[in-house]
Amino acid sequence: MSIISRELAQRLVDHISGVIPNNINIIDENGMIIASREPDRLDTFHKAGYDAIRNDRIETVKVFGEGMKPGINMPFHYRNKACGVVGISGPEEETIPIASLIKYTIELLVEQELMLNTRQASQLLRAQFLQEWLSLSSPPSAEFIAWGHQHQINVTASRTAAIIHAENTADATARFNRLENSLERLNMDSYIVYLTHFRAMVVLNTRQHIAEQLRFIQAEIPGAIIGLGRPEAVLRRSYMQAQSALRLGRWLRPDESIHRYEFYRHYDAMIYGFSKLEMLDDPVESIDALQETDGNDLLVTLLTYFRLNGERFKTADALHIHRNTLSYRLDRIHSLTGMNPRNPLDLQRLIGDYIIWCYRGQGLPES
């Protein structure tokens, strides 16, 4: 197999042939022509080219014969070993400078192509390692720690998971790629794990300020919504927390861009408890009554009132309604559900019902 692909060799020949009149051949390490200005010479044996490879020196052809034309055959190298030949027809004094230029061009292209392939292979292996790390439900073994060292990743330090939901899905993949390149270039000891085409997780370095890392992510991916777990020795725990924070945050505080698990962990525990008690199969009559009676107005009012800590003036301003209208809506919620949102305990019960309702896939339509 040639060190340079046939496609790349032929593109190079075609490009140079538009500049000089000489015939050009590129010959592999077995003496076979793999690219040529003359298509009928492809896959034919070139003796002078083979001799140039074998002897690692320029071979000159003086006369026509054995399928060869007068010209020179100059070896090109990879890691100090001859791996192919550039053959150019014409007088030696004219063709050597051209052959030298093509030789150096090929050597640079080969080096670049192999470096790219090596980097891509390394990135693939690292991505596989990160997926494995994310799947661990217990502290990493000594073998896994050693595997991490091969990728220059310390898996024994506590880590914080940040799940990034890109609102603009059209260019999400490109932005995630740029973020990954930036994290690598800046040596931030943070790593990206691709989840879907619009969602990824960043393994944050807890030794640096989390707030600064979040600002960096938001600058790279404007408009992103982030679910943030807690620092954990087992990455998967933080990942599950970040998932819950993102889900609950988008239900309860859709106007915010960063949702921290610390704020939502009681609601997360509540859902977990409901699941165990099979309460998620029960009808959520309070929320059904609000949604069926007044569309989404009462639900939006309830959520806004909750987010603004029951402050009536701020809630009315946020909803762009008069305070009397807000009072009317709060009274309607009380009348329809039997729970008074002005009462903190009743408000928490209503929010609990709303979470169950959302968990069953009936949440408010996204704006």
Local structure of 137: helix, strand or coil: coil
Residue 155, both tokens: 């898996």
Residue 285, both tokens: 């009559």
Q: What is the DSSP letter of 315?
A: H
Local structure of 32: helix, strand or coil: strand
- What's the pLDDT tens digit per position in 209-248? 888 889 999 999 988 999 999 999 999 999 999 999 999 9
Q: What is the DSSP letter of 68?
A: B
β-strands 24-27, 81-89: how paired? Answer: antiparallel
β-strands 199-205, 159-165: how paired? Answer: antiparallel
Domains of the chain: 6-118 (3.30.450.20), 157-263 (3.30.70.270), 283-359 (1.10.10.2840)
Q: Which of 62-66, 130-134, 142-146 comes out lowest in average pLDDT? A: 62-66
Q: What is the pLDDT of residue 298?
A: 92
- What's the pLDDT tens digit per position in 27-50? 999 999 999 999 999 999 999 999
Q: What is the pLDDT of residue 364?
A: 59
Q: What is the pLDDT of residue 281?
A: 57
pLDDT above 50 for 156: yes
Q: What is the pLDDT of residue 332?
A: 92
pLDDT above 80 for 154: yes
- The answer to whether the CB of 89 falls within 8 A of the CB of 23 is yes
The dihedral formed by the CA atoms of 240, 246, 247 and 249, expressed in degrees to the nearest 10 = 130
pLDDT above 90 for 69: no
Q: Which helix (H) or strand (E) holds 169?
A: none
- The answer to whether the CB of 127 falls within 8 A of the CB of 187 is no
- The answer to whether the CB of 227 falls within 8 A of the CB of 249 is yes
Residue type, 346: D
- Taking Cα atoms as reference points, which of 95, 98, 235 lies closest to residue 162? 235
Q: Which helix (H) or strand (E) holds 97?
A: helix 92-135
Evaluate the CA torsion angle 142, 146, 152, 153 in order and state its sign. Answer: negative
Local structure of 205: helix, strand or coil: strand
Q: What is the pLDDT of residue 311?
A: 93
Local structure of 15: helix, strand or coil: helix
Q: Which of 67-71, 93-97, 191-195 comes out lowest in average pLDDT? A: 67-71
What is the rounded average pLDDT of the residues 262-270? 79
Q: What is the pLDDT of residue 367?
A: 42
